[in-house]
């Protein structure tokens, strides 16, 4: 009886507490599309680093922050935008124009222009933003994690 009652109290506290700590909060903002660049300013087949401001929901705050993306124009209506962090440990990588590949300075992972892993410890291709092209503008949505298909 004593143990049973304490068990009930413990459960009635542990359950809400774990839900409180482990469940994701309800989202109050739906995802937005942010205008990142003019399609005309992107060069075909060569990645361009675009800098834009994006609203990020951060707990009880919504902050507008500077974000970058590597945009590669495939055609006038088709673009890929890569999230600027290496999929290994999150370092910022850069574009090596001579070798025509992305190079991460931390552990020398290299990626092809469309984000595939060429060498190094990166476990999967670079993550991509959701993209949309409207009226000649490149719109970016949220970052979607790439498949584990390295």
Partner 1 sequence: MIRVVRHVIGWIEHRTGLETAIRSFLYEEVPASSGWQHVFGSVAMFLFMLQAFTGILLAFNYAPTPGEAYNSLRYIMTEVTGGRLIRQLHHWGASMMIVVVVLHMIQVFLFGAYKKPREATWMAGVALLLLTLAYGLTGYLLPWDNRAYWGTVVTTQIASKAPVLGPYLSRLLGGEGAIGVVTFARFYGMHVLLLPPITTLMIIAHLFLVRKHGIAPAPGDEAKPVKKFYPEQVYKDTVAIFVAFAILFVMAVAVHVPLERLADPTDTSYVPRPDWYFLFLFQTLKFFEGPLEVVGSIVLPTLAMLALILVPFLDRGRVRRVTERYAAFGVVFLALLGWGGLTGAAIMTTPKTAAVEIDFSAPTEWLQLSPEEMAGVGYFRKENCVSCHSVGDGGAKIGPDLANTAIRKSAAWMIAHFKRPATLVPGSMMPPIQLSDSQLNALAAFLLKLTPQNASALQAAPAFAVDGALIYQANRCGACHLVNSVGMKVGPPLNGIFRHRDKAWIARHFRDPQAVTPGTIMPRYAFSESDMDKICSYLLSLPD
Instruction: By CB under 8 A, tell whether 9 contacts partner 1.
Output: yes
* Residue of 63, 61, 40, 70 lying closest to 140 (CA atoms): 70
Question: Contact at 8 Å (CB) between 94 and 47?
Answer: no
Residue pair 89/105 in contact by the 8 Å Cβ criterion = no
Region from 9-17, 74-82, 116-124, 138-146 binding partner 1, contact rule CB under 8 A? 9-17
Footprint of partner 1 on 15-44 (CB under 8 A): 16-17, 19-21, 23-28, 30
Task: Tell whether residue 55 is a contact of partner 1 (CB under 8 A).
Answer: no
Closest to partner 1 by CB, 25 vs 40, is 25
Which span sits near partner 1 by CB under 8 A: 7-15, 32-40, 99-107, 110-118? Answer: 7-15
Chain residues 60-89 in contact with partner 1, contact rule CB under 8 A: 60-61
Between the CA of residue 30 and those of 54, 67, 137, what are the distances in Å? 13, 19, 21
User: Which of 13, 74, 92, 144 is close enough to bind partner 1 by CB under 8 A?
Assistant: 13
Q: Does 6 bind partner 1 (CB under 8 A)?
A: yes
Using an 8 Å Cβ cutoff, are 122 and 88 in contact? yes
Stretch that binds partner 1, among 5-13, 46-54, 78-86, 138-146 (CB under 8 A): 5-13
Cβ proximity to partner 1, 59 vs 98, nearer residue: 59
Residue 127 burial (10 A CB sphere; 0-12, 13-18, 19+): middle
DSSP state at residue 141 = E
Cβ neighbour number for residue 89 with a 10 Å cutoff:
12
Q: Which residues make up the interface to partner 1 (CB under 8 A)?
A: 1-2, 5-6, 8-9, 12-13, 16-17, 19-21, 23-28, 30, 59-61
């Amino acid at each position: 009886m004593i143990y049973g009652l304490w068990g009930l109290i413990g459960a009635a506290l542990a359950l809400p507490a774990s839900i409180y700590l482990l469940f994701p909060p309800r989202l109050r903002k739906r995802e937005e599309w942010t205008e990142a660049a003019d399609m005309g300013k992107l060069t075909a087949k060569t990645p361009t680093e675009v800098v834009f401001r994006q609203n990020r929901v951060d707990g009880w705050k919504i902050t507008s922050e500077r974000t970058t993306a590597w945009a590669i124009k495939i055609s006038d209506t088709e673009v890929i935008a890569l999230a600027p962090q290496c999929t290994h440990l999150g370092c910022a990588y850069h574009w090596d124009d001579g070798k025509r590949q992305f190079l991460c300075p931390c552990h020398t992972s290299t990626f092809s222009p469309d984000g595939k892993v060429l060498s190094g410890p990166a476990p999967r291709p670079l993550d991509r933003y959701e993209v949309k092209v409207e009226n000649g503008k490149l719109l970016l949505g949220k970052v979607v994690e790439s498949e584990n298909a390295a």
